[in-house]
Amino acid sequence: MSDTTPSIGRWFAELARRQYFWGIVAIVVLLLINVLKDPTYLAISVSPTTGNLVGNLIDILRAAAPIMLIAVGMCLVVATGGIDLSVGSVMVVSGAVSMEFLHSASGSVGDAFLAFGLAVLISAVLGTVNGVLVAVVGLQPFISTLFIMLAGRGLAKVITGGQNTAATNDSFRWLANGYVFGIPVVFVLALLVVIAVGVLVRRSALGLMIEAIGMDPKAARLAGVNRRGLLFTVYIFSAVLAGIAGVFATASVMTVDVSRTGYQLELDAILAVVIGGTSLAGGKFNITGAVVGALLIATLDKTVVFLGVSSSATPAFKAIVIVVLCLLQSERVRQVFRQRRASRPRTPQKEVIPA
Amino acid sequence: MTESLPIVEMSDISISFPGVKALDGVNFRLFPGEVHTLMGENGAGKSTLIKALTGVYRIDAGEIFVSGAPTRLNGTSDAQDAGISTVYQEVNLCSNLTIGENVMLGHEVRGRLGINWRATHRAASEVLEKLGLGRLNPRAPLSSLSLALQQLVAISRSMVSRSKVLILDEPTSSLDANEVEQLFTVIRRLRDQDVAILFVSHFLDQVYAISDRLTVLRNGRFEGEYLTPELDRSSLISKMIGKDLVVLESLDSEKAVRDHRHTDAPIYRATGISRRGAIEQLDLDLHRGEIVGFAGLLGSGRTELARLIYGADRIETGSVELRGKRVDINSPASALSQRIAFSSENRRDEGIIRDLSVRENLILGVQAKRGWARPIPRKEKDALVSRYLVDLNVRPADPDRAIKNLSGGNQQKVLLGRWLATKPEILILDEPTRGIDVGAKAEIQERVIALADEGVSIVFISSELEEVVRLSDRIVVLKDHRKIAEVANGPSVTADSIITTIAEEGMTDTSAADDDVKEIAS
């Protein structure tokens, strides 16, 4: 015991130093609020009929899956100093393509794979358009991706002929609603993809290069870093991840809702990235943080529903939580608290660890 | 040019930044009706002094008197209240507004129903008229004007607030000869209206054409104040550069004795390369194992030429042959793949990436060359990093430290390591020894010689002519974006002889330019 306590303390101090620490705190606080309302909120039980885990936490994980994917893609784009507003629309296009394909196809496993592949392909194409606009034409990322954001939803309507296309394919449906080892497939898949991206980025030099162009484009260029190629890569990454998220979002109901699917999710992704401690100015990024951010957003969404906040007040509630969180993370606000503490001479001085 | 009381007097000004004394006991005076030029090499403290005068920086010691009264300038608004206006190198006007709106911004004429635009534009016209710019239509959009005229509009704007002091920080850097004359006409008019003008330029000809008085700074210290006619060009240059008092051990007075004879064909041959506004057409050969120095004052085009070789800027005319084959080097990445490396003079903004670690900064060049998909294996990376940290004697030799926490000299060594790790055949070093301590300087110089002995072709650029003369086998002399001479180094070549070359080349030019100016003024 005497051995483990200091190392746990150190581990905790290390964690508290992370930007996303406050995100974790917020998740815990939200869950506590829910528990106060219903002491059994956190209970996870095994469904007697299917053997799967059921409970609110499992629902949160399921809901977090698509946000996690787009948040990770957004995280890479933001690190280059850009932004990708098109992810929500890429989701709906990807969903529309897969549904439209499955609508006219048989219900076989092969078709499910084909639908998935098509969705990823069209997403990659949209990501390439973003890449061309940003890296070759040199438009601002905000405008370039805003264009795809607006055009994408229109494209989805064209693909489905304005309908909310529905289809049946059990394999495809399993992607969103199935379970492996009792855990929702979506979450497992999203986690695997995120880990794969994380490993790829940190094991190859992609992470370093992205940070270099995000921190100092001029110096990075003179160091021979190929900014154009990197920008292409991250925008395609972001779009492909959004495409997978789109498949998840539509597969759960096997319907693409051309006006609702992925609607405003780009904003959730940006919030998740910021909560995770990646600066919108570019540079250092934190994929774990983005995942924490995505989990927080999902928790927040579920909490709002659970607490019965009226739907008209939902956005305001969400906004307040996020503003408070950002204030807690802000260096300046902390400075004020620190000065306050310092001005009270009697209180024991505790070193404040800058994030 | 009467010897009246100075409108601004700065005495014994000192400003320190962490680790650097930017200004150390500097005196500076501005007289009404006089153009006073601040001279000094880059890093001499010119811009720090200007920022002290405009209230951007606070002074640590010394006093500032405006119109004889001690004044504290705690912000730019204090300076403006004291009648000090600044026109920056980059014009800061609103290009979407009209000329008149820009001139009168913040001083619009108000009527009962808000701004009286007619009166405002009339007032703008009057101000423009006073500076001889009456032909400009105040209702035309600012963006319709050339950069030079925009600068004049910026000057007019500072006159609306009836400034007594006007600071022009390198106003001519992006202007062509005609535009410079236009600017000078306006400056003379202002001078005749008893405005005190502080002028900064790197072009000696311009300095002699316009200024009445000179103050020279060197390494943050005050070198002296002179009336322009009493200081000739050569002594001005030597005052700016200073004699290097520190004797560098292995490289002291004597030139590095290197037996370099190139018999092979040049590794790099540029024919008629140029870029508008950067460098006029010139030819350049580089040989293996040879150190070529670029000499010239700041702004002479030495950096521009280096950037052209590296592909940091595009070559607009002419062609380049590398190892006998015609190549198109249009980006740093392509230069790097051709084994050309370039260490920028701007270590802070174009060299290091501040927030990355020493290790990451060091391997960035090699990694960029390999592409992101082929990471350097861990073992190789560690070997590379530890080799260069030891080899170049980087202190502290801690690869995980953020590079921003290293001293300038050590940052420079890490950068040198970054380029050496790419195994360049042509290495361009722009001011590799600027702003670093003597020990690090000697180490870098030794390393340069060793590299040349290994067969690397080196371009060495430095403001310190002694250093260039000491190291180079051949010296390319640049002035006003032109190559004016190319000399093989030998016993007869000294820093002084290079200065003479630069100064004399200017003399014939200036008299002609002066005549032009007179014609326009009259």
Nearest to A215 among B351, B353, B368 (CB): B353
What pLDDT, on the 0 to 100 scale, is given for residue B511? Answer: 43
Q: Dihedral (C-alpha) A33, A39, A45, A48: value to the nearest 10 degrees? A: -130
Which residue does chain B place closest to A233, by CA atoms? B372
pLDDT tens digit sequence for B140-170: 888 888 777 888 888 888 888 778 899 988 7
What pLDDT, on the 0 to 100 scale, is given for residue B106? Answer: 80
C-alpha span between B73 and B54 (Å, rounded): 7
What pLDDT, on the 0 to 100 scale, is given for residue A215? Answer: 93
CB contact under 8 A, B332 and A224: yes
pLDDT tens digit sequence for B98-135: 888 888 888 888 888 888 888 888 888 888 888 878 88
Average pLDDT over residues A134-155: 93
What pLDDT, on the 0 to 100 scale, is given for residue A287? Answer: 94
Q: How far is A203 from chain B (nearest CA, A)?
A: 7
Which residue does chain B place closest to A284, by CA atoms? B355
What pLDDT, on the 0 to 100 scale, is given for residue B325? Answer: 92
B116 neighbors B109 (Cβ within 8 angstroms)? yes
A136 touches chain B (CB under 8 A): no
Question: Binning pLDDT at 50, 70 and 90, where does residue B3 land?
Answer: low
| pLDDT at position B521 over 60 | no
∠ CA A42-A44-A48, nearest 5°, is: 155
Question: Binning pLDDT at 50, 70 and 90, where does residue B220 land?
Answer: confident
C-alpha span between A81 and A103 (Å, rounded): 40
Backbone torsions φ then ψ of A43, nearest 5 degrees:
-65, 135
CB contact under 8 A, B344 and A222: yes
Q: How far is A208 from chain B (nearest CA, A)?
A: 7
ipTM of the complex: 0.78
Average pLDDT over residues B51-77: 87
A233 touches chain B (CB under 8 A): yes
A145 neighbors A83 (Cβ within 8 angstroms)? yes
Rg of chain B over CA atoms, in angstroms? Answer: 25
∠ CA A298-A304-A305, nearest 5°, is: 95
pLDDT tens digit sequence for B467-506: 888 899 999 999 888 999 999 888 888 888 888 888 887 5
pTM exceeds 0.80, yes or no = no
- From chain A, the residues in CB contact with B352 under 8 A are 219
Backbone torsions φ then ψ of A53, nearest 5 degrees:
-80, 140
A208 touches chain B (CB under 8 A): yes
Q: What is the mean pLDDT of chain A?
A: 87
B344 neighbors B351 (Cβ within 8 angstroms)? yes
Nearest to A226 among B365, B368, B422 (CB): B368
Using alpha carbons, select from B196, B154, B198, B199 the residue that is nearest to residue B172: B199
Q: Dihedral (C-alpha) B468, B302, B282, B177: value to the nearest 10 degrees? A: -130
pLDDT tens digit sequence for B354-393: 889 999 999 999 999 888 888 889 899 999 999 999 988 8
Q: Comparing A202 with B503, which gets the higher pLDDT?
A: A202
- From chain A, the residues in CB contact with B312 under 8 A are 221-222
Question: Binning pLDDT at 50, 70 and 90, where does residue A273 land?
Answer: very high
Domain ranges in chain B with CATH number 3.40.50.300: 8-244, 268-490
- From chain B, the residues in CB contact with A285 under 8 A are none
What pLDDT, on the 0 to 100 scale, is given for residue B257? Answer: 53
What pLDDT, on the 0 to 100 scale, is given for residue B44? Answer: 77
DSSP assignment of B23-77 equals EEEEEEEE-TT-EEEEE--TTSSHHHHHHHHTTSS--SEEEEEETTEE----SHH
Average pLDDT over residues B509-518: 42
Averaging pLDDT over each range in A192-206, B42-56, B219-233, which range is the top one?
A192-206
Count interface pairs A-B at CB distance under 8 A.
84
Using alpha carbons, select from B107, B125, B132, B135 the residue that is nearest to residue B193: B132
CA A330 from chain center: how many Å?
21
Which listed CATH number (1.10.10.60, 3.40.50.300, 1.10.357.10, 3.30.565.10) goes with B8-244? 3.40.50.300
Q: Which B residues 470-499 touch A at CB under 8 Å?
A: none
| CATH topology assigned to domain B268-490 | Rossmann fold (3.40.50)
Q: How far is A144 from chain B (nearest CA, A)?
A: 23
